[in-house]
Amino acid sequence: MRVRLLVRTFSELCITAGTLIVLFVVYVMFWTGVEAEGATEGQIDRLRDSWTGAPVATPAPDRARPAAPEEYEPGKPFAVMHIPRFGKDWDWPVLEGTGTGVLKKGLGHYAGTAALGETGNFAVAGHRRTYGDPFRDFPRLRAGDAVVLTDGTTWFTYRIVKAPYRTLPTDIGVIAPVPDPVEAGAAGFDGPGRYLTLTTCEPEWGSSHRLVVWAHLDATQPVTDGKPRAFHS
């Protein structure tokens, strides 16, 4: 009798544990995406509302002057990123900071790195999986791919210089003003410039490593000129 009771109790515990595991998987794979969709759409809507009626500048690459990093408000959106390689509907807000709460709402700008379009390294992180999977297709990026951002007045088109690079989370040189990863020559940059770094977790469902791509500012144009050709290339 006691053995039967133990078996039944163990079975019930297994069923409960299994149910909790299934619910957790559903939360991670589905519900975080639902949450992220609402959050990111809200951030983009907020940005576009703030841009309505704003004066339009016409900067060239050598005199572009977006907000300085210290002027970005922590946890708040300041730009929208588009990566044509990921599809015409791929657009994500870029917020200041890379904390857990920030990355649930979109992509995060590494505090202390350069401002959008400025000399230095404009570095951005994003989830590979969960919370909308913004960088799920990160390994598909290739040299020459465009990464296009707007701050509401200007389009900034960056061009990726090589396929994703795999490194450790401790390799902070990847977001240096002149990207300087542990592996000599991996970034391919040897002097000041207007750079972009994108980072995400590796492997796909883990975080033991990082995937990184670097890009350089290729062109700018005012939003009144329409979308850059990079959207159609």
If phi > 0 it is left, if psi is from -120 to 50 it is alpha, else beta; for residue 92 that is beta
Q: Is position 82 annotated as part of the catalytic site?
A: no
Q: Is 216 a catalytic residue?
A: no
Q: Which of 109, 129, 194, 210 is catalytic?
A: 210
AA identity, residue 150: T
Strands (DSSP E) found in the chain: 77-82, 91-96, 107-109, 120-125, 146-150, 154-160, 165-167, 194-202, 209-222
Task: Give the Cα separation of 207 and 204 in Å (integer).
Answer: 8
- Spot the catalytic one: 128, 129, 194, 201: 201
Tally DSSP H helices, then E strands, for the chain: 3, 9
Q: Kindly state the tokens that stand for 85.
A: 């390689």
Contacts of 72 (CB under 8 A, 6+ apart): 78, 96, 109, 115
Q: Let me know if 127 is a catalytic residue.
A: yes
Catalytic residue among 109, 127, 128, 194: 127
Just list the catalytic residues: 127, 201, 210
